[in-house]
Every structure is written in structure tokens, then in C-alpha cells.
Amino acid sequence: MTREDYIKFRNRNSTEPLYEYYKERWNKDNHNPFLPAHEFNQLINLWPGSQEAVDTVFTHYDNKFTVVKIQDLKSGRVLRYE
């Protein structure tokens, strides 16, 4: 995944970076079977700790790609990522 891809996913609030992270970290000796994207997304949606996983993955990629968050000063709402 490139920085541009990540920023596009981040601005759309997509969960695609979760699957990319899974693919990067997957180890055939410890994790079997390798899940296709649709099965992985189904499991993530059922898992109670999924929000923590999303936060961890976004923090990882935000740091890896040096992503800047643009926020509204009054409301604190995120406008976009660059």
C-alpha cells in the first residue's frame, strides 16, 4: 500500500488498511489459514475489540507515512488527512 492509497482510504474512513496490515503481518507458521478480504472483514465486524484494532492500525500507518490531520479549530472535527 502506498502513502497515496492510505490517505485515500483514511479520508473515506475505509477499513481497507486493516486488511493491508493483516497481509503485511501474516505469518504462515503462526496464522492459518490466510483469509480473503471478505472473510477477514466479516470477522473484524464481529470482533468486540475491533475499534482498538482500527485505532492501532491507523496509528501505525499515520506514523509510517507521516500523515497530517487537518482539523476544524472550533469543533475539533477532522476535515481530511494529507
- Quote the DSSP letter at residue 70: E
| Cα dihedral sign, 81-70-51-30 | positive
Q: Which residues contact 1 (CB under 8 A, 6 or more apart)?
A: 17, 20, 61
Q: Which domain holds residue 73?
A: 3-81
Count of domains in the chain?
Answer: 1
- Give the model's pLDDT for residue 62: 93
The widest CA-to-CA distance across the chain, in whole angstroms, is 50
Reported as a single tens digit per residue, the pLDDT across 1-58 is 899 999 999 999 888 999 999 999 888 888 788 889 999 989 888 888 888 888 899 9
Entry pTM? 0.79
